[in-house]
Amino acid sequence: MPKTYVLDTNVLLHNPQALFAFQENSVVLPLAVIEELDEQKRRQDEIGRNARIVARQLDEMRQKGRLSEGVDLPRGGAIRIELNHSEFAEGFPDILDLSKPDNRILGVAWNLKQDGVEPVILVSKDLNLRLKADVLGIPAEDLLNDKVDFETLYRGYRELLLEAEDIDSFYRDGALYLGKRRRAYPHQFFVAKCRENPSLSALGRWSEGVLRPLNHLEGECMGIKPRNKEQRFALDLLLDDAIKIVTLAGAAGTGKTLLALAAGLERVMEDKSFDRLLVTRPVVPMGNDLGYLPGEKEDKLRPWMQPIYDNLAYLFRGYPVPGGGRGGKVFGPEEYLLSQGLLEMEALTYLRGRSIPRQFIICDEAQNLTPHMVKTLITRVGEGSKIVFTGDPEQIDHPYLDAASNGLTVLVERMKTEDLAGHVTLLKGERSAVAELGARAL
């Protein structure tokens, strides 16, 4: 049975293509949604951009007929704008303040339901609005077409039980042909264990039906050595130039950012494989924002980049850094690297339109990116560049993203079958015993 979906504004601000995501069903936009889109269209960020995209799409549909009466969508179904958003059928709670757009949107869904339109479903990324809809007996759901099943998200590795002679052959020949006996994703890692003797094991990486040893099993970067098997897997991807997109997910303290920075500096400073290390992070505050910050762009970025500076200080511990900083101060590691043109810090806002060749790019805290922001960043990657995304999908500060819909999770799922991409989920915290306890117990 065709359904009628009433869309909240935040759905369209999150994904402007949501207008076309409901197949043969009807889409209803309350007039309050158009008002809210109009308020957001002047913003110079992704929210403003999405509001303008939706407005242009609706304007194109207007050429086919009156939107208040309904217009067919190109992929099936129809869309219409509901003009009545202030007078509601009997039974709508008086306690709901109609000066709030959310309540007027809820009221439109209520009216349709009272008029006998069934089934009516409210689609919103606002949890509280979904709760209010549920109280009124109106089915409500989040936008589902851009979500990934986080519980079964690809980890990048798995265990493999083999016979003792297979493991002996793996160590003796430096490869083990598995062929059709096993299926795996490109660059998937395996922890191979002997059936008869579990203490006999090996770490390998899948490549076209062959299990091969890690290229950097005992490697180190900038004095950093991997402390567990997941970190060994991550370093193997980070140092492999054939893999252009690397995603590292894991809880706080598992070493995602530190490993990425260490590998990037090694490839830039020692191997000269890249001209520069470019580091970017989304500017999404945890808690209340501090407001505008004084100074030049570098000064404004410093609070957001402080975790990067902390990791650089750790990597350069024991390394002499030349003096001669600003105002006669001694250089910090980041100032030295910046002055030598080896490091660039940039806000995501300023990356649109750029082409970035021969650079090792790190996007930290990628769980706070939308899938569209991830796409925008990847399409900036030029010839000879490599890009690394790090983040914790369970530690999200963005108001309309969750573990199943953020850009990092979607990227992992979409790229797992691609030869140019590799992924590892890091599990064990290595920052400190305190950090590990906090990540596990809290």
Residue 296 maps to which CATH number?
Answer: 3.40.50.300
Q: Is residue 161 part of a domain?
A: no
Last residue of a domain, one of 141, 167, 183: 141
439 has a pLDDT exceeding 70? no
pLDDT of residue 345: 86
Last residue of a domain, one of 125, 141, 157: 141
- Find how far residue 344's CA is from the centre of its chain: 21
Q: Which of 46-50, 348-352, 415-419 has the lowest mean pLDDT?
A: 348-352
- Residues of the chain with pLDDT > 90: what percent? 56
Mean pLDDT of 115-123: 92
| Number of compact structural domains in the chain | 2
Last residue of a domain, one of 141, 171, 192: 141
- Asked if residue 127 and residue 254 are part of one domain, the reply reads no
Q: pTM to 2 decimals?
A: 0.81
- Asked if residue 130 and residue 230 are part of one domain, the reply reads no
Position with higher pLDDT, 332 vs 259? 259
Cα–Cα–Cα angle for 157, 159, 162, nearest 5°? 135
Pairing of strands 78-82, 26-30: parallel
- Find how far residue 116's CA is from the centre of its chain: 41
Phi and psi angles of residue 136, each rounded to the nearest 5 degrees, phi first:
-85, 0
Q: How far is the C-alpha of 46 from the C-alpha of 13, rounded, in Å?
A: 8
- Asked if residue 383 and residue 257 are part of one domain, the reply reads yes
Please give the mean pLDDT across all residues of the chain.
87
321 has a pLDDT exceeding 80? no
- Asked if residue 309 and residue 437 are part of one domain, the reply reads yes
Position with higher pLDDT, 171 vs 349? 171
pLDDT for 51-90, tens place per residue? 999 999 999 999 999 999 999 998 889 999 998 777 887 8
Q: Which domain holds residue 353?
A: 219-441
Q: Is residue 154 part of a domain?
A: no
C-alpha torsion angle, residues 156, 189, 208, 257 (rounded to 10) = 60
pLDDT for 152-203, tens place per residue? 899 999 999 999 999 999 999 999 988 766 788 999 999 999 988 888 899 9
